[in-house]
Amino acid sequence: MKPETGYCVCKNGKLLIKVNETAGKDHNVDVSMHCPAGKPVALVHTHNVNPNPSPQDLQTSKDKKITVCIDWKGNVKCYRVKGSD
């Protein structure tokens, strides 16, 4: 099984920037939310097994108040836990 990979999306004005691309392990990846300019707006990572967010993905969205996106076989879906605004 390939390790999960991920990255942070930063917004600087109207520009979206992909930063901090990271490889993790089979079922997780820890992506830095540090943006060299602007602010983090989403964390994107691959899933190997299914396209649904894990409980950990939803908790990350809630705790870090950020959109979490899952890339499964090239299809990306984003999730944000209600109340994480």
The model's pLDDT over 21-46, given as tens digits with 9 standing for 90+, comes to 999 987 889 999 999 999 999 999 99
Domain that holds residue 22: 5-79
Residue 51 has pLDDT above 80, yes or no: yes
CB 26 within 8 A of CB 1: yes
Q: Is residue 85 part of a domain?
A: no
For residue 60, what is the DSSP state?
H
Q: How confident is the model at residue 52 (pLDDT cuts 50, 70, 90)?
A: very high
Instruction: Assess if residue 33 is contained within a domain.
Output: yes
Paired residues of 10 in beta bridges: 17, 40
Beta pairing partners, 75: 72
Full-prediction pTM beyond 0.75? yes
Number of structural domains the chain divides into: 1
Is the Cβ–Cβ distance between 20 and 8 less than 8 Å?
yes
Is residue 1 over pLDDT 80? Answer: no
Taking CA atoms, 47 is separated from 31, 56, 82, in Å, by 14, 13, 22
Q: What is the pLDDT of residue 57?
A: 94
Say if 84 falls within a structural domain: no
Residue 57 in any domain: the answer is: yes
Is position 12 within any domain? yes
